[in-house]
Amino acid sequence: MENSSNPDGEDTRNQTIPSTSSTSSSDDYRLFDRQGSLHQFLGGGKAADILLWKRWSVSLGVIVVASVAWLIFEWSGLPFLSICSDVLLILIIVLFVHSNYAAYRDRQPQSLPELELSEEMVNNAAASFRVKINNMLLMAHDITLGKDFRLFFKVVTCLWLLSAIGSYCSFFTLAYIANTKSL
């Protein structure tokens, strides 16, 4: 990085951005030296379109649904588990009545797909979960033995901040704020 002064006495900085391929031009600047675009980094599908507001109507719908859900949780004062079980209970009752009504009118009820988890999928998820838990336990071990003061300080600071923030607002308010900030 070179510093130079212009006639007004202000410093200007000239950066040379390394190219990752021989065919890229100087206009092909990627933030944080990424190999692909942000759309590709986010998966490149419908979810990336929604997060980047390329499908603004769907993105707006997500914010509206999240706002309504947040309001329901805030105003009801019920725990998250109670509301989820109530919604699932209503859904099961509606599907049961719909299926029996279709049989009463001699119509074929809509078929539901068979939901089945393969053993391979469960083993892969368990193996991934085991690795993450082992890494967390290793970090906790290092913290308790006093081997990594920097990590200890980060954990203590984060837990203290979470405690302080949690005493001022509910979990759902924080989750809603995090959700709308990510969009």
The confidence band for 43, taking pLDDT boundaries of 50, 70 and 90, is: confident
Q: How far is CA 112 from CA 84, 99, 102, 123, 133, in A?
A: 21, 11, 14, 26, 35
146: left (phi over 0), alpha (psi -120 to 50) or beta: left
- φ, ψ of residue 113 to 5 degrees: the values are -70, 150
Portion of the chain with pLDDT greater than 90, in percent: 10
Does the global pTM surpass 0.85? no
- φ, ψ of residue 170 to 5 degrees: the values are -80, 170
